[in-house]
Amino acid sequence: MRVVMVVRDNMEYTREAMDWVAEFKKETGYDVDIEDPETIHGEIFATHHDIVQYPTLCVVSDESKILEKWVGHLPQFEEVSYVMRDA
């Protein structure tokens, strides 16, 4: 299972999203994978999971199934940790 942040580089929300990722790692110990939809890999991920609004945070199963998705806002750390624990 992994946590993935889909975020475009150099947007008004990018700094806030990167700060969220750093704090989330510090508070929970979970790594967050960053996907930029402007890259090939990021575009494939976003298209496969129907992500068209940014930032989007996803908890993804080992089978690449979205377990939970937060679109257009950054969730509380506890919300994400709860999904990670219950999955």
What would the pLDDT profile of 30-47 be if each residue is shown by its tens digit? 999 999 999 999 999 999
Domain span at residue 8 reads: 2-86
Reported confidence tier of residue 78, pLDDT bands at 50, 70, 90: very high
Rounded CA-CA distance 71/55 in Å is 6
For the full predicted model, state whether its pTM sits above 0.95: no
Q: Which residues pair with 32 in a beta bridge?
A: 3
Residue 71: CATH number of its domain:
3.40.30.10
Smallest Cα–Cα separation from 48: which of 6, 79, 10, 9?
6
Percentage, residues of the chain above pLDDT 90: 92
Count of structural domains, the chain: 1
Residue 87 pLDDT exceeds 80: no
